[in-house]
Chains A and B, each alone.
Chain A
Amino acid sequence: MAILEKTELVLNAAGRMVPEIANGRPQVPYLGVGKYQPRGNKAAPPIRTAADYPESGDKRVADLETALRKCGLRDGMVISSHHHLRDGDRVALMALEAAARMGVKDLMWFPSASFPSQKAAIELMASGVIDHIEGSMNGPLGDYCTQGKMRGMGVLRSHGGRWQAIQDGEVHIDIAVIAAPTADPFGNCDGSHGKSACGSLGFALADSLYADHVIAVTDSLVPFPCIPWQIQGNSVDYVVTVDSIGDPARIVSGTTQVTRSPDRLRIAEFVARFLRDAGIMRNGFSFQAGSGGIALAFVSYLKQMMKDAGVKARFVRGGSTKYLVELLEEGLTDYILDGQTFDLSGVQSIASNPRHVATSPFTSYNYHGKGNFASMVDAVVLGATEVDANFNANVVTHSDGRLLHGIGGWQNCLAAGCTILAVPSFRDRIPVIVDEVTTLCGPAELIDVVVTERGIAINPRRQDLLDAVKGSKLPIHPLQQIKAEVERICGGKPQRPQRADRPVAIVKWVDGSVLDSVWQVV
């Protein structure tokens, strides 16, 4: 069994030590934003012929195990899954456990993200069925990785970076298993209808296009045609029906709630006021905010300010929630361009409103394409676990080095016109603004504003933003000053937690180069 390999570490352009080889593949150390120039052609799946598929279009097989066998499952393969069913997903584990029953070993699981409910994957790693995971890990899976127990090296990518890795041939998917809330026997898949509806299926699109074999798994089979076909049946080898692909209660939340924490509301209000006072909130503008409590509250504040000013957005980017749906329905935005759908309102809207459009990481985020939507967004509001006084930020690890979040679209969103990190200045006595981030995920040159409950800091590189808010009532302070105030409150700078000198995962930049390492926690 391949124990985590010994590898040479090199210093990359961000000053971080990163391995030259990960999981047997040579890596490009991060060279700087926009510096790495890839060569060559995209990867491609094998040519198929319709002669090998039923003319009736009926690709159903008895069960997942049969489908995996027909796909030629064997040791060492890469199996992918998507995370649109979030913590409610049953399909990824169903496939991996079927593989375990079939006696295969050393698989690489390549989810677009993993969730705490998939912690059974730990046993599959311990028993050797899974060699390692390339995809976000948090909770128990994150701990397993940072404790150094995973055989191979974790590889953390952004949503856009995952598309880039598949497209560029860095990751070759042998078998993609796509959970489909609705599908027809031909393999057309739709996420916006069915008892397990989740909205978009964008995260599975690359898998369907580039994998050698594609299995659609559904609990709501409809006769051909399944409309809309977010995933085209022409990419699908086999269709499997099961009783349930997921737990609806954990796929989408019934209602998403705005935070009642006064500190978080204050941050949200500052963010909205900043967009207004800096002149970013103007007719035809665009923004993206996530589904966290601060982001939702931000949308509520901004909505009122847009109404007061008579301003309308051209588009907003989801993760959609009822708050974005209300903007759309009240005519405050022309479109929602949606990457994933977080609550029931979002699911209903994407299923019924033609101006609520599903996007994929290809259109939204892929850096190795002919541009992408992320850089066209005027402002994005993101979270972070840490930010240093120079505006470098971390989103994947706790300050103690444990994996906490996936990268998601976070890195891709940094391309927006104005990137805002909305963070409390400290959590449980632990300062968020630090001397050095535990894991570098976002280079300082792309992070423009840090908004905390103690004031707003603007990156000195953005003199235009500093000028734009001159004379406003916003509490604009140097980040260094907020940091010093928090250190006084917390009783000095925190100690640096101890770590081992062994990388257990790497953090990719959007171009596939290695931005930083995640180290084993001692």
Chain B
Amino acid sequence: MSVEVETATKHAGEAGHSGPEIRSDVHVRIEPLERGGVSVALESRVKPYYGDAIRRQTEEVLEALGVRHAQVAIHDEGALPFVIAARIEAAARRAGLGEGTRVLPDRLSLPDPSPRDRMRRSRLYVPGSEPKYFINAALHGADAIILDLEDSVHPSEKDAARLLVRNALRAVDFLQCERMVRINQLPLGLEDLEEIVPESPDLILIPKVETPGQVIDASQKIAEIKANYGITRPIWLMPILESALGIEKTYEIATASGEIVALTIGLEDYTADLGVVKTATGAESLFARQRMVNAAHAAGVQAIDSVFGDVGDMDALRAWALTSRAMGFEGMGCVHPLQIPVIHEAFAPTPAEIEKARKIVAAYNEAQQKGLGVVSLGSKMIDPPVVQRALKLMARAQAMGLVA
């Protein structure tokens, strides 16, 4: 190999993936040059259909990044435009180009801000470095989509995944889903926030929280970025507690910021921390989960259970979810879309529960009309907390489409 070639390849930047098994991604290699303008070599499985569009987009993105002399090789496996843009930007940055410049795809109109106490039965994790899962993620009816920058993304891919997730927040229609992003453990997570917060996600999950201070750091960073970008809509927080220490501090963490709407638990890390085996029935995490439910309710936020990792065993998932609901959790995480309907069914009130609640609400309404202070159903007196629970259950049943 000649010295010249070594010099030329020294600063080349690459991003993305290609190959026969890869779908909806693109590999981009940018080799900066001193002169000669930009040359683009394009290979694409969709070349007969979008070859011209890919070339045009490549030129536009490079120009926006200020790349004027480079040799660019693109190997495309049918990536959508927002993916191509993110991969080119990542490759350019890795080549030391385009510092401080963002090339943002057109933004779809933002959905309405997410209410604090919205239903969060199911949240579907989507690996932030796997663009093929992004586009149809919302079709499967989950209450939320989590674009994940943490555990599902290899450490060497964090920078590129961040750009993909940022672009997805602008260009992908997540329909009825709450748009959540799991950032990395702090301090790396603070860098994620720089790219993510300007795109107004509905909620940020902060992993491996053990102290209220970590939540405050994230919250302050978010507030700062929001102020810079003039964002006024809320960006909620969901701390993930994944260690014995975190569990011990559950209530302090839950009350660390007014933006916290829910707490959740990461059982893989928690059981590892304890040095115990994670089982399908979860006896080893019973205390932690119960503690979380109690602290969350004390703090007035939702308690959301962990994910269920075995995507092949729907019966075990159903059993887990039923227990989870019985313990006081309001939802679970999903790692596969097929888990969503099972979880929704498990977290739905039973017909008997709905019937009972309906009677209580009717009795309550009647008492209100008559100006009675005491609500009674048949010979039984109904306590105010029971009425509150029935009202909440009916509201949930309505949101789930179980009652008119």
Residues of A participating in the B interface, judged by any CB pair closer than 8 Å: 260, 262-263, 265-266, 399-400, 427-430, 453-454, 489-492, 494-495, 497-498
Contacts and interface: CB of A to CB of B under 8 A. Distances in A.
A322 B46 CA distance: 36
Contacts of A453: 136, 139
Contacts of A494: 46, 48-50
B24 A428 contact: yes
Contacts of A260: 338
B329 to A, nearest CB: 24
Given A399-B49, A495-B50, A266 B139 contact: yes
B110 to A, nearest CB: 16
A491 B338 contact: no
Nearest to A454: B139
Q: In the complex, which of the residues B77, B136, B139 has the most CB atoms of chain A within 10 Å of its own CB atom?
A: B136
Given A429-B24, A429-B80, A453-B139, A492 B46 contact: no
B140 A262 contact: yes
Given A263-B139, A453-B136, A490 B51 contact: no
Interface in B36-84: 45-46, 48-53, 57, 77-81
A491 B336 CA distance: 27
A428 B46 contact: yes
B140 A266 contact: yes
A265 B80 CA distance: 23
Contacts of B81: 491
Contacts of B52: 495
A266 B137 CA distance: 12
Decide if the interface of chain A is mainly helix, strand, loop or mixed: loop
Contacts of B337: 262
B8 to A, nearest CB: 32
Q: In the complex, which of the residues B24, B48, B336 has the most CB atoms of chain A within 10 Å of its own CB atom?
A: B48
B139 A429 contact: no
25 contacts: A262-B140, A262-B336, A262-B337, A265-B338, A399-B49, A400-B48, A400-B49, A428-B24, A428-B77, A428-B78, A429-B46, A429-B50, A430-B49, A430-B78, A453-B139, A489-B135, A490-B50, A490-B80, A491-B53, A494-B46, A494-B48, A494-B50, A495-B50, A495-B53, A497-B49
Given A266-B139, A453-B139, A429 B48 contact: no
A290 to B, nearest CB: 23
A426 to B, nearest CB: 9
B298 to A, nearest CB: 37
Q: In the complex, which of the residues B46, B57, B140 has the most CB atoms of chain A within 10 Å of its own CB atom?
A: B46
A177 to B, nearest CB: 36
Interface in B8-54: 23-24, 45-46, 48-53
Nearest to A424: B136
A263 B140 CA distance: 8
Contacts of B78: 427-430
Given A399-B49, A453-B136, A429 B79 contact: yes
B50 A399 contact: no
Q: In the complex, which of the residues A399, A453, A490 has the most CB atoms of chain B within 10 Å of its own CB atom?
A: A490
A495 B23 contact: no
Contacts, number: 58
Nearest to B44: A429
Interface in B201-260: none
A491 B50 contact: yes
Contacts of A492: 53
A48 B354 CA distance: 79
Interface residues of B, number: 23
Given A266-B140, A429-B24, 11 more contacts: A262-B336, A262-B338, A263-B136, A399-B48, A428-B46, A428-B78, A491-B50, A494-B46, A495-B49, A495-B53, A498-B48
Contacts of B139: 263, 266, 453-454
A427 B337 CA distance: 19
A359 to B, nearest CB: 35
Closest 8 CB pairs of A and B: A428-B78, A494-B49, A262-B337, A497-B48, A491-B81, A429-B78, A400-B48, A429-B46
B307 to A, nearest CB: 16
B104 to A, nearest CB: 15
Contacts of A430: 46, 49, 78
Nearest to B340: A262
Q: In the complex, which of the residues B49, B52, B53 has the most CB atoms of chain A within 10 Å of its own CB atom?
A: B49
Contacts of B46: 428-430, 494
A454 B78 CA distance: 19
Nearest to A400: B48
Interface in B113-140: 135-136, 139-140
A363 B57 CA distance: 54
A458 B96 CA distance: 52
Contacts of A428: 23-24, 45-46, 77-78
B120 to A, nearest CB: 20
A454 B136 CA distance: 9
Contacts of A266: 139-140
A429 B50 CA distance: 9
Nearest to B132: A428
Contacts of B51: 495
B343 to A, nearest CB: 14
A263 B137 CA distance: 9
Nearest to B48: A497
A399 B46 CA distance: 10
Nearest to B105: A491
A430 B81 CA distance: 12
A497 B45 CA distance: 13
A495 to B, nearest CB: 6
A492 B140 CA distance: 25
Interface in B268-325: none
A427 B81 CA distance: 14
Given A429-B79, A453-B139, A495 B338 contact: no
B201 to A, nearest CB: 20
A266 B138 CA distance: 12
Contacts of A429: 24, 46, 49-50, 78-80
A210 B72 CA distance: 61
Nearest to B137: A262
B254 to A, nearest CB: 33
Contacts of A399: 48-49
Contacts of B57: 491
Nearest to B135: A489
Contacts of B50: 429, 490-491, 494-495
Nearest to B312: A260
A428 B20 CA distance: 12
B282 to A, nearest CB: 25
Contacts of B53: 491-492, 495
Q: In the complex, which of the residues A400, A491, A494 has the most CB atoms of chain B within 10 Å of its own CB atom?
A: A491
Nearest to A455: B139
Nearest to A429: B78
Contacts of B45: 428
A266 B141 CA distance: 11
B139 to A, nearest CB: 6
Contacts of A262: 136, 140, 336-338
Nearest to A490: B80
B194 to A, nearest CB: 27
Interface string B335-379: 011100000000000000000000000000000000000000000
